Amino acid sequence: MDRIEQLRGLIHHHNHRYHVLDAPEIADGEFDALFDELVELEKRHPELVTGDSPTQRVGSEPLGEFASVTHPVAMLSLDKVSAGDELSDWVARLSARLDGEPMAFTCEPKIDGVAVALTYDAGRLALAATRGDGQTGEDITANVRTIGAVPLRLTGRGFPPRFEVRGEVYMTRDDMEAFNERARAAGEKPLVNPRNGAAGSLRQLDPRITAGRPLNMYCYSLGWVEGARPPETQMEALERLGAWGLRTNPAVEPADGLEACRRYVDALAERRQALAYDIDGAVIKVDSLDQQRRLGAVTRKPRWAVAYKYPAEEATTRVLAVEFQVGRTGAITPVAKLEPVFVGGVTVSNATLHNMDEIARLDLRIGDAVMVRRAGDVIPQVASVIAGRRPEQAPGVDLPEACPACGSAIVRPEEEAVARCSAGPAVCPAQRKEGLMHYASRLAMDIEGLGEKLIDQLVEKEMVAAPADLFALEQEELAGLERMGEISARNLRHALESSKETTLARFIYALGIREVGEATARNLAEHFGKLEALRDADAETLEAVPDVGPVVAANIAGYFDDAANSQAVDALVEAGVHWPDVEVDKDARPLEGETWVLTGSLESMTRNEAKARLAALGARVAGSVSAKTSRLVAGERAGSKLAKARSLDVPVMDETEFAAFLELLEEKPG
Ligand code: IVH
């Protein structure tokens, strides 16, 4: 069928524009129409479905095992240099070997992911293999096919009849965090770090699982080439790869000598946190492939390239103890107390262990040697326990029976990962403190000068039990506290006074109801308009609010049913906290009853803004696509959700269409 082939060609072309070049040429709607037509034709002619058909990205049937693959050209690893001197030593050694010939270099980020070799035969992805031991790897073609950035078919002209390209499959930090947030919410195992996330995703025997993981790939070299002239330099190789439709890292730069390499290495270290992905260093390569060949390799490591390593964002240390912290809602979080260790530029002595399931998964005991990891702004985590370094009789970690702050019983419902203090803030001082911190926080009542140290004192001296008590504090009382004086006391009084004028959304958020975040609070304020309406709402009424499911609805209703909470709310209103009523305009909710899903990255607005605008129009914003989804908004690099939406015939909008649509609906009539 010519049309099938024609459609595949078109879809591959547009996929490349979208995933590799970030420059789509057609609207999503048009792309969808092509995709739908192909799905339809393949349904009618299943015998014509091929592995490189774009419809195959959603993941094929599970495999029994991975076949092994022998690499025709070994996949080497890299020698490491760290101090600046070692880099100049390396350059000097090469220079001596080449009798002083001039050398040029390329400098590349060393992405912390998984090395993969792709074989293209007549422009089609024929094989994807892991590095394995360098000689033999595993055939992971079915999994790699699901990665949007990997072309199933090359675009452009002039690619060799057969060749192998190598690169790194990775996950961005944001993608991993978003994935983990969903996994934790669903009670599933989170990924430990982006590298493990990428490796684990590629190791799945069921490609449909891989299809649901946010993987990406940058290509960094040619393994071998058949039937065409190989490139002359690394830079030329990268340019060619790009021209054939493969994704290459824009952060790669040529460097004409040692000084330029040094500048690159320093500049990349500066940019490290700003990159979307984890790197563990820079790779410096001799640019000329002829010089590379003449320099050769020793014991599986090429002489012509080195990895310049940055200080690790992982370090090993020892667990001295595990303490249990009590959060605002009574949630008990185990925290590892560590022998202080320098990781990624700071000294770390605490790391979160999330919950008891995580401790069981890590099989962590007191005294264990552990790998601690810190990346970006993320709280330090215990990544793994180092096997074989456990002291004898290392005690295990048990969930305490009593709350460390108030002594009340700790309970853990069977189906939940989180254990909680069974008392409320009226009894538990830790919850009181956390509740006050939340009340004063920036996105809540934004009370400047009311920090942790001060709240600790206020609670310990029993000067404050509930937020409303803050307003009864006299300036002199405040001035008498540690680290306070006349001026800070006066400033705090002033901040407290001005915080009384607020909005309903902030007030609802400030109450600290379990699982009512800022966005949900805003939706509640817009839906109910008045505090009284929210207080009177039953679970069913609450569930009509965007973002509110049965669990959150029960939390809200339960909160206001509690006499102590009700009293605390009344006391705040009596103390003078006030806000203007929110107008509830039914006509302004044209998307009432619809469920929308956002996927991919949006350029013109943040994801939160998009959610808030949809919610304001009455739509519910959900995290996953189902047959009930009203519409999917697909931003850049949309992946499995887009594929799923298409397979379920859910209408899809691209960002441009979405922005125009929002503007149209937001224009108030009259
Ligand atoms: S070149 C002989 N370039 O680092 C050349 N490798 O120890 C070896 N890696 O497992 C590969 N970014 O997966 C090269 N820009 C880059 C790289 C890179 C990450 C990984 C690679 C390999 C390891 C080498």
pLDDT tens digits for 49-96?
A: 887 888 888 777 778 889 999 999 999 999 988 766 789 999 999 999
Residue from 73, 75, 76, 77 whose mutation best tests the ligand 1 pocket (most atoms within 8 A of CB): 77
What residues does 127 pair with on adjacent strands? 119
What is the spatial distance between Cα 353 and Cα 336, in angstroms, rounded to a whole number?
Answer: 7
- SS3 label, residue 557: helix
What is the spatial distance between Cα 638 and Cα 623, in angstroms, rounded to a whole number?
Answer: 13
Residue 670's pLDDT is what? 35
Assign 3-state DSSP to the chain and report helix, strand, coil percentages, each to 5.
40, 20, 40
DSSP 484: -
Q: Shortest CA distance to 325 belongs to which of 431, 483, 174, 188?
A: 431
Instruction: Give residue 251 CA to ligand 1 midpoint distance, Å.
Output: 15
Q: Shortest CA distance to 318 belongs to which of 412, 257, 403, 389?
A: 389
Instruction: Give residue 264 CA to ligand 1 midpoint distance, Å.
Output: 17
Instruction: Give residue 381 CA to ligand 1 midpoint distance, Å.
Output: 26
Query: Which numbered atom of ligand 1 lies nearest the CA of 167?
Result: 13
Query: Which numbered atom of ligand 1 lies nearest the CA of 252?
Result: 15
What residues does 352 pair with on adjacent strands? 335, 381
10-16: long-range pairs with CB below 8 Å, 24+: 10/34, 11/35, 11/38, 11/54, 12/54, 12/151, 12/152, 12/153, 12/155, 13/155, 15/54, 15/148, 15/151, 16/151, 16/155, 16/245
The residues, ordered by sequence, that sit 6+ positions from 486 with a Cβ below 8 Å of its Cβ are 475, 479
Describe the crossing of helices 518-528 and 607-616 by its angle, rounded to 10 degrees: 20
The residues, ordered by sequence, that sit 6+ positions from 439 with a Cβ below 8 Å of its Cβ are 445, 447, 467, 510, 511, 512
What are phi and psi for residue 417, nearest 5 degrees? -80, -25
Query: Which numbered atom of ligand 1 lies nearest the CA of 110?
Result: 12
Nearest protein Cα to ligand 1, atom 24: 77
Residue 376's pLDDT is what? 55
DSSP 467: G
What is the spatial distance between Cα 450 and Cα 489, in angstroms, rounded to a whole number?
Answer: 10
Instruction: Give residue 63 CA to ligand 1 midpoint distance, Å.
Output: 28
Instruction: Give residue 150 CA to ligand 1 midpoint distance, Å.
Output: 18
Query: C-alpha 614: how far from its chain's center?
Result: 22
Catalytic residues: 110
Q: Left if phi > 0, otherwise alpha if psi is -120 to 50, otherwise beta: which for 540? A: alpha
What is the spatial distance between Cα 345 and Cα 662, in angstroms, rounded to a whole number?
Answer: 44
Sign (positive/negative) of CA torsion 37, 43, 44, 46? positive
Instruction: Give residue 217 CA to ligand 1 midpoint distance, Å.
Output: 13
Low-confidence ranges of the chain (pLDDT < 50): 670
User: CB-hemisphere CA count at 13 Å for 255?
Assistant: 23
Residue from 111, 224, 241, 248 whose mutation best tests the ligand 1 pocket (most atoms within 8 A of CB): 111
Q: Shortest CA distance to 192 belongs to which of 352, 389, 396?
A: 352
Asked if 208 and 59 touch (Cβ cutoff 8 Å), the reply is yes
Instruction: Give residue 178 CA to ligand 1 midpoint distance, Å.
Output: 27
Query: Which numbered atom of ligand 1 lies nearest the CA of 304?
Result: 2
Nearest protein Cα to ligand 1, atom 18: 110
- SS3 label, residue 138: strand
Asked if 62 and 207 touch (Cβ cutoff 8 Å), the reply is yes
Instruction: Give residue 423 CA to ligand 1 midpoint distance, Å.
Output: 53
Q: Measuring from each residue's beta carbon to the nearest atom of ligand 1, which residues come in under 6 Å?
A: 76-78, 108, 110-111, 115, 131, 168, 220-221, 283, 302, 305, 307
What is the spatial distance between Cα 8 and Cα 104, in angstroms, rounded to a whole number?
Answer: 41
Residue from 79, 105, 110, 221 whose mutation best tests the ligand 1 pocket (most atoms within 8 A of CB): 110
Nearest protein Cα to ligand 1, atom 10: 115
